[in-house]
Amino acid sequence: MRKRVGVVGGGIAGASAAYHLLKADRSLEIILVEAEDQLGYHTTGRSAALLLENDGTESTRSIVQASVDFLLNPPEGLTENVFVRPRDVMHIATFEQSASVDRFLEENSTGRIPTKEISKSEAKKRFPALREEGLDRVVVDEGAGDIDVHCLHQAYLNNFLKNGGQVKPSTRIDSATRNGDHWNLETKMGDIPVDLIVNAAGAWGDQVATRAGVEPVGLQPRRRTAFTVNSSEPNIQKWGMIADIDLQFYCKPDGQQLLCSLAEENPSEPCDAKHDEADVALAIERINAATTLDIRSVQTAWTGLRTFAPDRSMVIGPDTTDDSFFWCVGQGGTGIMTSPGVGRLLADLFTAGKPSEHFYKTGLKQEDIFPNRFRKK
């Protein structure tokens, strides 16, 4: 019997889920529903995405491992473009932050490409504008890279549409109600009957659950501001990225400009977030103290929402109270680089009820990502 699936949310999580579900079972009728007229408007479209394997919780790192090959070697026919371009990421520290460096190196010693410590002179070769005064130690992730977010997002959507998927932008889910064994997704454009729901609504994930009569999991959206500045430095596109070891700021090339951020995580309600000039000013102050860039003006600035579950691990899988309601939320700041693994994992759980062997070798523990960890025993 053909099943109709409603995927709620057109950002990277929803696009990857729709793509992988249809790839796993071509008999599914999948409708991707997005409240905005532009898919990926709030978070995906504002992401300065990196492939950074040594980042996040243990379960996140496992899902990154499951995503790397897809990102570096896309499936045949998916795209003619390159998703990832190498970019060293250097974590810089003052003398007072030495303990943070030791902890960082220990935590990242078992990755596919372990983080390693380099000299200050080597760091300056990779980011010539670094100030040596005040700089004590530098560690680098050499397996990192910039991800072309638009290219990846569009590749999922284009393939999904080519294989019969449907996309409904400007279609907000006002409520989802049971009708026997089916759901009615109620919108101002009319009801959409589906058999199963995939909640990939990001910062709005708990709201979507509430509208469907499903208990929220306690998602917390957090603001992060970024901005671009011009630079007269030659060959800047070949520089690495620098980030404070305690993540008080970061700065990286973005074409002929520099993309900078305070790297803050300030709690927020789900909204169309706007940047705060005070956050931009503090980031400039910190970056100027660590470099000779002498930033004085900003080209563009914006703020996106990174959404976390209470334990900062993702929430993926069927709700324990209703196995026709699937969660695909809580990616935090890792949603772009984990999207291939998240989509594939969701499809595995959807079609087989458990992760495939692809995830066994990554060490992923189901209890770390299943929604039931937030339900009373």
DSSP assignment of 155-200 = HHHHHHHHTT-EEE-S----EEEEETTEEEEEETTEEEEESEEEE-
106 in a domain, yes or no?
A: yes
Residue 176 has what pLDDT? 96
83 in a domain, yes or no?
A: no
H or E stretch covering 5: strand 4-8
- With tokens 């079972």, the residue in question is 25
Phi, psi (rounded to 5 degrees) for 311 = -100, 5
Residues 354 and 298 in one domain: no
Which of 277, 308, 339 is a domain's end point?
308
Residues 245 and 104 in one domain: yes
Q: Tokens for 232?
A: 């007269």
Residue 253 has what pLDDT? 95
Candidates 299, 308, 317, 301; CA nearest to 353 is 317
What is the spatial distance between Cα 75 and Cα 198, in angstroms, rounded to a whole number?
24
Residues 361 and 228 in one domain: no
Candidates 313, 147, 310; CA nearest to 241 is 147
342 in a domain, yes or no?
A: yes
Candidates 27, 15, 265, 350; CA nearest to 151 is 15
42 in a domain, yes or no?
A: yes
Residue 110 has what pLDDT? 79
Which of 308, 330, 353 is a domain's end point?
308
Residues 161 and 189 in one domain: yes
Residues 298 and 346 in one domain: no
CA distance readout (Å), 149 to 48, 83, 146, 154, 349: 8, 8, 9, 8, 26
CATH of the domain at 346: 3.50.50.60
104 in a domain, yes or no?
A: yes
Residues 155 and 42 in one domain: yes
Angle ∠(275,316,218) on CA atoms, nearest 5: 55
Residues 125 and 259 in one domain: yes
Residue 270 has what pLDDT? 96
Residues 227 and 302 in one domain: yes
Residue 2 has what pLDDT? 64
Q: Are 50 and 147 in contact (CB under 8 A)?
A: yes
45 in a domain, yes or no?
A: yes
Residues 247 and 157 in one domain: no
Angle ∠(340,258,251) on CA atoms, nearest 5: 70
What is the spatial distance between Cα 271 and Cα 257, in angstroms, rounded to a whole number?
28
- With tokens 């999207």, the residue in question is 339
Residue 179 has what pLDDT? 85
Between the two ends of the chain, the Cα-to-Cα distance in Å is 34
210 in a domain, yes or no?
A: yes
Residues 6+ apart with CB under 8 A from 255: 237
The domain tally of the chain equals 2
> Which residue range forms the structural domain that includes residue 293?
88-143+220-308
Which of 308, 331, 353 is a domain's end point?
308
Burial class (CB in 10 A: 0-12, 13-18, 19+), 290: buried
Residues 6+ apart with CB under 8 A from 312: 56, 57, 330, 332
Q: 359 has which bridge partners?
A: none
Residues 154 and 56 in one domain: yes
Residue 69 has what pLDDT? 96
What is the spatial distance between Cα 312 and Cα 146, in angstroms, rounded to a whole number?
23
What type of residue is 71? L
Residue 41 has what pLDDT? 84
Residue 20 has what pLDDT? 98
Residues 252 and 291 in one domain: yes
Query: pTM of the entire structure?
Result: 0.95
CATH of the domain at 94: 3.30.9.10
pLDDT per residue, tens digit, the chain (377 aa), is 469 999 999 999 999 999 999 999 999 999 999 999 999 888 887 887 899 999 899 999 999 999 999 999 999 999 999 999 999 999 999 999 999 999 999 999 877 888 999 999 999 999 999 999 999 999 999 989 999 999 999 999 999 999 999 999 999 999 999 988 899 999 998 999 999 999 999 999 999 999 999 999 999 999 999 999 998 888 999 999 999 999 999 999 998 899 999 999 999 999 999 999 999 999 999 999 999 999 999 999 999 999 999 999 999 999 999 999 999 999 999 999 999 999 999 999 999 999 999 998 899 999 999 999 998 75
H or E stretch covering 306: strand 300-308
What is the spatial distance between Cα 46 and Cα 304, in angstroms, rounded to a whole number?
6
Residue 360 has what pLDDT? 87
82 in a domain, yes or no?
A: no
Residues 73 and 152 in one domain: yes
